[in-house]
Amino acid sequence: MDAKVKRPGQEQVNDAAYRRVLNFYYDEAELFDNHDYETWLATCVVPEIQYRMPVRNSLELGAKADLPYDNGYFMDDFNSLAIRIQLWSKHATTTAESPPSITRHFVTNIRAFPAEQAGRLRATSHVLVYRTRATEPRPYLFSARREDLLDDVDGMLRLVRRDITMDEPVVMSPNLSFLV
Amino acid sequence: MRIDDFNPRGPADLVDPDTGWVSRRVFTDPDLFSLELERVFAKSWLFVGLTQEVAKRGDYVTRVMGDDPVILSHGQDGQYRVFLNACPHRGALVCRADRGNSPSYTCPYHGWTFQNTGKLHTAADDLSCYKGRVDFTHYDLVTARTQVYGDLVFATFDDQLPPLEEYLGDARWYLDMFFDRTPAGLEVLGAPVRWRARKNWKYGAINFAADGPHALAAHGPITRTVLEKFGMPAEMLRDLAIAGPAVRAGNGHGMIVVPNPPGMPEFTGFPPECVALYREHLKPGQIEVMKDMFNGVMTIFPNMSWVHFPLAFGADEPFVNFFNLRVWQPVSASETEIWSWFLADKEASEEYKQASLRIGVNTFTAAGTFDQDDSEAWAAIDAGSRGTVGKRMMSSYQMILASEDERIPNFPGPGEAYNSTYSEMSEFGILLEWRKRMEGVS
């Protein structure tokens, strides 16, 4: 065994902190699946939230995405998330989500680490969304990895930043009118 | 197979120029879809990318023309070329990444290698094994006719098509308003995003040619949410859309302009640092249209489209234009892969470009607050048009009957401009061109 090679994912937070991160993700998933995005926005994010999902390309082995701009699917702050969420609420009856799509979020591979800044945690997770839309009974699977920076103040975890790495270069669903 | 085979009463029953009725089979029939790949896509100049996406020698991106995979290459000799992405030996893709940089492409099957100029470099065996009985000059990559307009690369595998400039024709006047309005031109903001919509490709092309009234229906909630904050109630937007021109720019190309509301400053949403450049670079007529353009949407026949208008999500943020360029790639009669880029004037500030990209991503991608609605509306059209009885029905473009005599006199641009983005004149123009092509009349 080569002692110089270190397996990634070491130095995670203690069990009590891990438990809280786990609960945070399960709470979030339940709010998403209940279409209660308003409560999610009110309780799960800080006002400075950055929520991003750039395009994923299929590149040659070892090649890096080195473009000066990240085109993508989400590039949101609190304000734009609030607009999305208002559109998906029962008051707006937005075409895309009326009737609402049926989703189930499966969150796995959760790991949590101390962040450089005090009062914060870093966490990574995998998410699989099983989704059917009103116009299409065939379910669509959406798979991604999330890299989160979490605020941990007064016993409350809240998202400061979420970077989503999607697992397909072409989104195989007509739209992505949901959050992960 | 001829178009008449689908209907004994002739092509007029599929797209009727006189009444504006269109058979729903035009959008759902798999046989018509196969035929249009040959008669429309294989016989059109198709947009494949921007030269700046392959800025350095050796750069390539893989793209699609109709249902054929292609490579846009910047060769070691400095030339831009488009190749059929298929090994001349047995047909395998020779390039399988979305983009990269390489002096050559290698077939994954027998390892045949091609220079990025298309030339065969090495075959599996020493060529002498063929005992001189095989002509290897026929083993280069199949190269499309490739023409660059501004920074836009178009290609076709058809030898008979007129040159690109002629194909674009009068549409160039409008195209230049968007793509050639400053000395440095446009900057592409990242790689294209791609998603699969459940609909025929023509719904996208027609919608962007363009459809005025859907803005307040399909996009009602987002339109009201975003614009009412800026003192543009829905009724005002409707009136402006009704007032804006719909242009048939020839060869099926079509566009609409929704003008600025009264009192809105000229060039609202454009980068202020670029306005003087537009005035120097464009013709007076183009400036006349652009200075009061709130929303500009256009389709270059068959499947290249763009949409351009100012938005802001925060009440304290200024209006910023986003500029979304896209192609509607046909996958099947009821599936379309949308490829979508964002662009901004190169001379605009870095801050403006970031803001423009952000508002674009928030509105016009698979997750966009506008596109999410189109996708669902189009999927609903497809679902409602596919049935045994449903496909016997006709889709209506009958607003043309109220609009044909509404030609705008003295419109500053070429082509035929008609009153109102509600007129269906430019939308129906796509179908008239499609009809002409499908009849085999070129």
Q: What is the pLDDT of residue B225?
A: 87
Task: Check residues B223 and B293 and name the one with the higher pLDDT.
Answer: B293
Residue A20 in contact with residue A28, Cβ under 8 Å? no
Residue B178 in contact with residue B305, Cβ under 8 Å? no
In single-letter form, the type of residue at position A13 comes to: V
List chain B residues with CB under 8 Å of A68: 190
Task: Kindly tell me if the per-residue pLDDT of B2 is higher than 80.
Answer: no
List chain A residues with CB under 8 Å of B357: 69, 71, 75
A86 Cβ neighbours under 8 A, 6+ residues apart: A92, B225
Query: Picking from B199-203, B315-319, B326-330, which range would have the lowest pLDDT averaged per residue?
Result: B315-319
Query: Helices A78-88 and B220-228, interaxial angle, to 10°?
Result: 140
Q: What is the pLDDT of residue A11?
A: 84
Q: Work out the minimum CA distance from A165 to partner chain B, whole angstroms.
A: 14
* Closest of B293, B285, B246, B304 to residue B265, by C-alpha: B293
pLDDT > 90 in chain A, percent = 83
| Mean pLDDT of the B371-398 span | 94
Q: What is the pLDDT of residue B442?
A: 47
Q: Work out the minimum CA distance from A139 to partner chain B, whole angstroms.
A: 13
DSSP helix/strand/coil, B347: coil
Task: Check residues A62 and B303 and name the one with the higher pLDDT.
Answer: B303
Q: Is the peptide bond before B380 cis (omega within 30 degrees of 0)?
A: no
pLDDT, tens digit (0-9, with 9 covering 90-100), for B248-288: 999 999 999 999 999 999 999 999 999 999 999 999 999 99
Quote the tokens at residue B6. 């689908």
Q: What is the pLDDT of residue A64?
A: 85
Quote ipTM for the complex.
Answer: 0.94
Quote the tokens at residue B219. 């996009």
**Owner of token pair 């302009």:** B257
List chain A residues with CB under 8 Å of B337: 170
In single-letter form, the type of residue at position B94 comes to: V
Burial A15-53 (b: 16+ CB within 10 A, else e): eebbebbeebbeebbebbbebebeebbeebbbeebbbbb
Q: Work out the minimum CA distance from A42 to partner chain B, whole angstroms.
A: 18
Is B194 in Cβ contact with A169 (below 8 Å)?
yes
Q: How does the average pLDDT of chain B come out, rounded?
A: 94
Q: What is the pLDDT of residue B4?
A: 55
Element (H, E) at B166: helix B164-168
Q: Work out the minimum CA distance from A2 to partner chain B, whole angstroms.
A: 34
pLDDT, tens digit (0-9, with 9 covering 90-100), for B8-41: 555 557 999 999 999 999 999 999 999 999 999 9
Q: B62, B98, B196: which to substitute to probe chain A, counting the most A Cβ within 10 Å?
A: B98
pTM of the model: 0.95
List chain B residues with CB under 8 Å of A96: 372-373, 375-376
DSSP helix/strand/coil, A145: strand
Is A169 in Cβ contact with B195 (below 8 Å)?
no
Residue B194 in contact with residue A169, Cβ under 8 Å? yes
pLDDT, tens digit (0-9, with 9 covering 90-100), for B28-80: 999 999 999 999 999 999 999 999 999 999 999 999 999 999 999 999 999 99
Tell me the C-alpha distance between B33 and A17, whole Å: 57
Tell me the C-alpha distance between B206 and B428, whole Å: 7
* Alpha-carbon torsion, ordered B393, B399, B405, B407, to 10 deg: -120
Q: What is the pLDDT of residue B7?
A: 62
- pLDDT band at residue B1 under the 50/70/90 scheme: very low
List chain B residues with CB under 8 Å of A83: 222, 225-226, 313, 362, 369
pLDDT, tens digit (0-9, with 9 covering 90-100), for B324-379: 999 999 999 999 999 999 999 999 999 999 999 999 999 999 999 999 999 999 99
Q: What is the pLDDT of residue A179?
A: 98
